[in-house]
Structure 1
Amino acid sequence: MPSLTQLEASGRGTVLRVRSYQVDLDLTTGDEMFRSTTEIVFDANSGDGGTFLDVRPRELLSVTLNGRELDVAALHDGRFPLTGLAERNEIVVVADMAYSRECEGLHRYTDPADGRVYLYAFVYIDNAPRIFACFDQPDLKAPFTFGVTVPDEDWQVLGNAPATSLGAGRWRLDETAPLATYLTTLVAGPYESFHTEHGGVPLGLHCRASLAEGLKDDIKEVFEVTGQCLDEYRRLFGVPYPFGKFDQVFVPEFSVLSLDHPGCVLLRELYLFGSAVPASERETRAVVIAHGLSLMWLAGLVTNTWWDDLWLGQAFADYMAHRVTSDVTRFSGPLTTFAVRRKAQGYVADQRPSTHPVSLAGPDVRTVLLELDRISYFKGSSVLRQLAARVGTPALREGLRTYFTRHAYGTATFGDFLAALSEATGTDLTEWARVWFGTCDVGTLTSEITVTDGVISAAAVRQDVPAAHPVTRPHTLDVGCYGDESTTTRVVIDGERTELPQLIGLPEPKFVLLNDGDLTYAKIRFDERSRAALPEFLPRLSPVNRAMVWCALLLAVQDGAYPAADHLDLVTGMLAVEPEPSIVVEVLEQARADVADRFLSPESRPAALDRIAGALRDRMADVVPTDEIWLCLCRGLVEFSADVGELRGWLDGTRLPAGLVLDADLAWRTRYRLAVLGGLTEDEITAAHRADPSTRGAQFAAKCRAARPDPAAKSAAWDAIVGDTSVSSYGLWAMAEGFWQPEQAELTDGYVARFFAEMPAAAKLRGDLVLDVLVRFLYPRYAASPETLRLAGELLARSDVELPLRRRVADFTGDLRRAVAARAHGAV
């Protein structure tokens, strides 16, 4: 089906003004389909030219325009043509719509724990027409009213506006403020609910009944974080919360982390903790809550006119979420976690073949959506942090207040945002914005320090830029000079080389840290003096700076500029002293999944993992189980240990470290590692799944089966991944995640060629969101050889490879090429 182009949307937007939607959904018509009736009132100023309606039904039953029946056979590729329009029009569309299992429309899920059914609308971009007929583009905002018929009395209905039960399975949702179609949602089922109020705003938390006990322990924390962020956004934005209530619903089989509809945010059940978790995971949940709440203003109150400005709300929400959570909640580490994890993901994405500016561009919705990625979120967030460093928080706040007040309940462009900010700062930011938001890739900053007689006699910063994207950017940043005396100096650099006279005369530093405080977006390289001093000075730095240094080192490994073995040695030393759980968690994950598994030579990997496992055991012996870092260390040991006897002892309780409680989550993690090592049988997986039939238990069981070093298990997993469309998205991802293992390179070698041969056909069976995650897991990322690169080149040369698969394969092949080069040049 065609993807809406910007030209088409612009043409339709000039013809139509949508006044209202009334949507009625009958959810009692069976397990496969539901009945959707939509009444739209709209004005048209050019009836002769005509336009089209978006609707993607299983079966279109009737279309009535101004009392006139239209031929349903006119529907083609999700578009129904409309001609002969009056100045004021009313159209009624009745259709049977299909339920989804891949988060494309109205998602239907049956809970394996109790057999109860749960529904939620995954509308997002391009999916509203799978639920109701509409003019599906963001600038045609209109009020919505929903009526819903449900099959059971214990069901409730939630949506953007308050819902009222009318009895006999009927519900009505109040009329909303004007909304874009992609910001509507509906939730229905026997959800367990908890309520409170904060500052006059009704708050709700909802989840599946079988998971309600896990939520009860966290109700106070979630409501507290929500209230704290609500107050801070009201203060910063100068506009009260713009919708009548705020519900947060944990929903099953969710393809994204959250969807932030006005008044009703959907959250992944990943953030509904049924087992003990490190404080870093609670911190992440707080950030996700803050992200969703900020979008009540940044997308709901003021909506992007076209999809190419969708990035602005998401980037700003990410920036605000990390900042506000750090400022007003009990979690002090979001900026640290961002520096070590999310920003690293932005840097990686920005160096791939599909790199693009933060600001999006594309001729149609699908192309723009494919570019809404870690660059949009994490680089965008980083650039906004740099903007705040440049203009100052007061000016930024004043610009936001102007923007929200001027465009409330309407739509706006990035140009409108920039105009408001320029007014607040008294500075034309157009060129600055063009260089930062309108260009791609990342530059590298290196300090050049000359010392004479114990003091700095000359200082400069060199800015190197990629040849493919030779754009130098202005940076407002701090330079930290660490030694017997330590100083931090604010500087502004621009061009290929910037002299730093502010540093002349300072005592000789032993360690120089560019971008101290992580204010800008750039790769950082250490001079020889600083690189040698890393083991001494890294533990002395602030948490944000330690996180930033670890990010810089990871990027250097990926560039072949820092040996993977040296990185892992530094990780081993870090484990003895690092107090921040988020740094321990993220650095261990990077050390295992990136450095050891992909960039270190396979011959060196077992010994390196063993050294880190030993360091983890040593630290665990020195930490009390009540310490927040304890669980991080335990999980890390499971990932790095190759001792089957040790891990079996954890499962049967004979070798559990003193004070460790092996709850369901940690038990599954242990089983998964044992499955990889050949220490877990199919019967044991089946028994564990039978004892834990939850969604998470099913996912772990699928991942364990795919991870077993058994030819039959690999064959069964592969056939299901590439050909079984009955498998849910979560089951699909679990099998793909477990399939490739560095320990099993010989066993899976034959599947490398099969991936490149079979994925084009397999990709056609999946939607773009599901495919994106599938390819990330299923790409043969450990097969770092010229032969894999050759096979990838053959796939990319094929004419039948569609854009979503082509982009992802090209990106992951770019990542693999870095690993091949690093190994070939001995940087291991």
Structure 2
Amino acid sequence: MPSLTRVEATARGALITVTSYQVDIDLTGDGDRFRSRVTIRFRARPQTETFVEVRPARLLAVRLNDADLDPATLTDNRLTLPGLRVENTLTVEAEMAYSNTGEGMHRFVDPADGETYLYAMSFLDEVQRIFAAFDQPDLKAPVTLSVTAPPTWTVAANGALAANPSPGRWEFAPTEPIATYLFSLVAGAWHVRQDSHDGIPLAVYCRRSLAAYLDADLDEILTVTRQCLDRFHQLFAERYPFGKYDQAFVPEFNAGAMENPGLVTFRDDYVFRSVVTEAERERRATTIAHEMAHMWFGDLVTMRWWDDLWLNESFAEYLGTRVTAEATRFDRAWTTFALRRKAWGYAADQRPSTHPVAPQEVTDAAEGLLNFDGISYAKGAAVLRQLVAWLGDDAFLAGLNAHFAAHRFGNATLTDLLTNLGAASGRDLTGWAEVWLRRAQVNTVRTVVAVDAEGRYAGAKLVQTAPASHPVLRPHRIRVGRHHADGTVIQDELDLDPAVDGGETVLTGLVGAPVPRLLLPNDGDLTFAKVRLDPASVDALPSVLPTLADPLSRAVVWGAVIDAVTDGELPVADLVRLVEVALPAESEVAIVEDVLRLGRSLLDRYLEPDARDAASAVTAGTCGRIMADAPPGGSVQLAAAHGLIAVGTDADLLAGWLAGRQVPAGLTVDAELRWAVLRRLVVLGAAGATEIEVEAAADPSANGAEWAARCRAALPEVAAKEAAWEIITRDTDRSNRLVEAAARGFWAPEQADLTSVYVERYFTDMPAAARRRTPWVAEEVAHLAYPRYAVAQSTRESAAALLARDDLTPGLRRVVVDEDDDLRRALLARTASAAIVAV
């Protein structure tokens, strides 16, 4: 189906104004369809024509003003509307198909109890799978919804319930003007808990089979919700503008969450059914805050087109992290951001598919979907943090409040925001926006020092560079931290201005000062730049890193080391040694988790098999020491246990945990941990199909079904791999999450010989597989199923041959381009390691 282009959206936006949607949905039918009827009222220039989007299973009737239109004139997803008047009424009736892809009206039957659950996912242009709409973000209008459903169900939507006139009938109050991609609805046997705060009705929904788990965490979820609402009300003059605030945890969700006003939807993995670390709880809190930030950035004021996606996601990412850190008990959220989220942003910004935070042109909605990545989220948020450091918080917030006032319930662009920020701060932001928002890629900032015979600085400077492909130097407000042996920390804040210093900023204040154990650029993590330490600081890391008091400083150091290894400037062996020496002293669980996760990815791809096995053994031993020294039952112990499971090869130890033997004191071997252990045993060939079926019978939940699918795909058997590949490339009956689970479990570096035949099959089979699926699911499956452990020139040659074709979906093309670039880096790292060994 054609993707709406920016040119088409601009023309239609100039032609029509939508005044209301009246939507009636009937969910009582049998089978795989439901009925929808929508009446759209809109104004237009007379004697013109336009089109409305709808993706029906069967189009039943169309009436424009006083004339019936032939449903057969529907072409793909577009229905032409001729002969428009000044005031128009369009009614479209259709049968719509339920989905199993997390898009449109997703239908899920809970394997735990057989109950049915429906939810609407209208993003990015999927509302047309639910009812006919002018599906672009700048044609906002109030939506009045009515729903017919089984009387025993619970139904909720964006608007408040206005009437329940008869059993099985729900009528909702009109919403404020909203974009079509924000339409939301849940229906089914939902478990619900209600509350209120500061005059705002609150509700939380989940499946009945998760009720006990939700109730156990309800106080934490509602407390975070209240604290975030209070903080946003302190920051913004505009109070939460959409009446009630419901949060629904829904099954088989594609994203982390969706910011539908009045009814936010989250993936129900956030309803924890097993013990999790504090980092996981922080992640849930940050997601709650992120979606709440969207109530202002995206919902109250909506981007005009997808080229200003950053006005949604960058702001929500920044404010979600900031408000979590300022208002909740998770006050280390910026530490997590510095390592986990920024690693995502740095990786995305250095790949061939990089793009500006705010690109000049996004040609169509399909391209807009591709930009939901580490640049639009993490880099954009880091750039906003840099902007606040430069402008000052008061001016920044004054500009935002002026922006809300000027565009309330409307749409806005980058220019609109810069105008309001410039007026509030008294600064012209045009030049800043050009290099930070309109230009792609990331700068590197290196410390270059000279030391005299007395151990004092004879000279010091920060040298900023840019890649040759994107030769842009940027202004940075940055802190340089001097960390001394006695624990003294001196932070100097300064501006790097390439227009003045050409990219080399002399640190005059350091001349004559004693050399610290660590000189750390970007201490405090105010800017978005890769940092490189001076050689003496690198050499001191094994002893100095465990002594740093500030976890944010430690996160910046770990991020710098991991990035240097990723770039091939440090060998993987140095990272393994640093993990072995310094990580056991780490108390911040988010750092433990992310160092192990990021490090494991490098071990699996940057090292030859023998070296990988040796490094993994060292990492497993480190995890064992962390577990032994960590407080029993604490987050660090659990994070280390997961780290050990991921790389360990002691099958007897892991099998013992499943049997209740030699389990470390305080470690709970619950459902999630059991599945993680079993999956590792399957990869190692120490467990098989029988053990998977026994575990699946003991855990008949949706999570259990996903884990079982992942484990079956991991079986080191020819027949199991063939069955999994069939699911990955051809099966459209299974849900998005089950297909993704199979793809997630398929590859393992330990199974390289067994899966070698599937390397070429990926490049042969994936183009057709991508066309069978919706773009969102197809891209995710293509990413998860990529042969990332086949680090060989032949893999790159196959990728090049595939990319030479002209029939690839945009999502598959981006996946292959980016994954191939990661393999390029891995090959270079292996070559460099081999050269070091040869010397």
State whether TM-score is above 0.5. Answer: yes
Q: Which residue of 2 aligns with 1:282?
A: 281
Find the residue that maps to 1:825 and give its secondary structure: helix
Give 5+ residue unaligned stretches, structure 1: none
Q: What does residue range 185-584 of structure 1 map to in structure 2 within 5 Å?
A: 185-360=184-359, 361-452=361-452, 453-484=454-485, 485-495=488-498, 496-541=503-548, 542-584=550-592
Counterpart CA distance in 2 for 1:290 and 1:84 is 46
Find the residue that maps to 2:610 and give its secondary structure: coil
* Deviation (angstroms), 1:70: 1.1
Q: Which residue of 1 aligns with 2:669?
A: 662
Task: Give runs of ≥4 in structure 1 deviating > 4 Å.
Answer: none
* Deviation (angstroms), 1:98: 0.8
* Deviation (angstroms), 1:727: 1.7
- AA partner of residue 364 (structure 2): D
Find the residue that maps to 1:648 and give its secondary structure: helix
Find the residue that maps to 1:575 and give its secondary structure: helix
Find the residue that maps to 1:178 and give its secondary structure: coil
Q: Which residue of 1 aligns with 2:173?
A: 174
Q: Which residue of 2 aligns with 1:740?
A: 747
- AA partner of residue 497 (structure 1): E
- AA partner of residue 467 (structure 1): A
2:120 aligned with 1:121, yes or no?
yes
Preserved contact between residue 448 and residue 463 of structure 2 (Cα < 8 Å): yes
Preserved contact between residue 277 and residue 631 of structure 1 (Cα < 8 Å): yes
Deviations for 1:317-348, whole angstroms, at most 9, x for unmatched residues? Answer: 10011111011101122111111111001100
Preserved contact between residue 633 and residue 665 of structure 2 (Cα < 8 Å): no
* Deviation (angstroms), 1:504: 2.3
Counterpart CA distance in 1 for 2:464 and 2:542 is 26
Deviations for 1:224-268, whole angstroms, at most 9, x for unmatched residues? Answer: 000001011111111111111000000001000000011110000
| Greater alpha carbon shift after TM alignment, 483-492 vs 173-182 | 483-492
Find the residue that maps to 1:147 and give its secondary structure: strand
Q: Which residue of 2 aligns with 1:5?
A: 5
- AA partner of residue 330 (structure 2): F
Counterpart CA distance in 2 for 1:163 and 1:363 is 40
* Deviation (angstroms), 1:457: 2.6
Deviations for 1:287-314, whole angstroms, at most 9, x for unmatched residues? Answer: 0000001111111111111121122121
Give 5+ residue unaligned stretches, structure 2: none
- AA partner of residue 494 (structure 1): D
Find the residue that maps to 1:782 and give its secondary structure: coil
Counterpart CA distance in 1 for 2:190 and 2:800 is 48
| Greater alpha carbon shift after TM alignment, 490-499 vs 54-63 | 490-499
RMSD (Å) for aligned C-alpha atoms: 1.3
- 1:651 aligned residue (637, 653, 658): 658
Preserved contact between residue 733 and residue 777 of structure 1 (Cα < 8 Å): yes
- 2:695 aligned residue (678, 688, 693): 688
- AA partner of residue 468 (structure 2): A
Q: Which residue of 2 aligns with 1:106?
A: 105
Preserved contact between residue 162 and residue 245 of structure 1 (Cα < 8 Å): no
* Deviation (angstroms), 1:625: 1.2
Q: What does residue range 58-97 of structure 1 map to in structure 2 within 5 Å?
A: 58-97=57-96
Preserved contact between residue 543 and residue 582 of structure 2 (Cα < 8 Å): no
Count matched residues. Answer: 826
Q: TM-score scaled to structure 1, two decimals?
A: 0.98
Preserved contact between residue 446 and residue 463 of structure 1 (Cα < 8 Å): yes
Find the residue that maps to 2:259 and give its secondary structure: strand
Q: What does residue range 569-608 of structure 1 map to in structure 2 within 5 Å?
A: 569-592=577-600, 594-608=601-615
- AA partner of residue 662 (structure 1): V
Counterpart CA distance in 2 for 1:392 and 1:160 is 37
Find the residue that maps to 2:252 and give its secondary structure: coil
Preserved contact between residue 157 and residue 189 of structure 1 (Cα < 8 Å): no
- AA partner of residue 488 (structure 1): Q
Preserved contact between residue 633 and residue 667 of structure 2 (Cα < 8 Å): no
Counterpart CA distance in 1 for 2:195 and 2:673 is 33
Preserved contact between residue 445 and residue 462 of structure 1 (Cα < 8 Å): yes
Find the residue that maps to 2:141 and give its secondary structure: coil
Preserved contact between residue 153 and residue 187 of structure 2 (Cα < 8 Å): no
Counterpart CA distance in 1 for 2:386 and 2:621 is 40
| Greater alpha carbon shift after TM alignment, 424-433 vs 5-14 | 5-14
Preserved contact between residue 151 and residue 169 of structure 2 (Cα < 8 Å): no
- AA partner of residue 301 (structure 2): V
Q: TM-score scaled to structure 2, two decimals?
A: 0.97
* Deviation (angstroms), 1:777: 1.2
Preserved contact between residue 102 and residue 767 of structure 1 (Cα < 8 Å): yes
Q: What does residue range 745-760 of structure 1 map to in structure 2 within 5 Å?
A: 745-760=752-767
Find the residue that maps to 1:709 and give its secondary structure: coil
- AA partner of residue 563 (structure 2): L
Preserved contact between residue 201 and residue 246 of structure 1 (Cα < 8 Å): yes
Counterpart CA distance in 1 for 2:53 and 2:274 is 44
Find the residue that maps to 1:300 and give its secondary structure: coil
| Greater alpha carbon shift after TM alignment, 456-465 vs 186-195 | 456-465
Preserved contact between residue 474 and residue 492 of structure 1 (Cα < 8 Å): yes
Counterpart CA distance in 1 for 2:328 and 2:794 is 51
Question: Residue 439 and residue 638 in structure 1: after superposition, are their counterparts in 2 closer, same or farther (change >3 A)?
Answer: same
- AA partner of residue 372 (structure 2): L
Counterpart CA distance in 1 for 2:159 and 2:596 is 40
Q: Which residue of 1 aligns with 2:629?
A: 622
Counterpart CA distance in 1 for 2:588 and 2:30 is 51
Counterpart CA distance in 2 for 1:252 and 1:399 is 38
- Report % sequence identity: 47
Counterpart CA distance in 1 for 2:85 and 2:160 is 31
Q: What does residue range 43-62 of structure 1 map to in structure 2 within 5 Å?
A: 43-45=43-45, 47-62=46-61
Preserved contact between residue 160 and residue 261 of structure 1 (Cα < 8 Å): no
Deviations for 1:145-190, whole angstroms, at most 9, x for unmatched residues? Answer: 0000002423333334345422221001110001111111111111
Deviations for 1:794-821, whole angstroms, at most 9, x for unmatched residues? Answer: 1111222222111110110001100011
Counterpart CA distance in 1 for 2:153 and 2:6 is 44
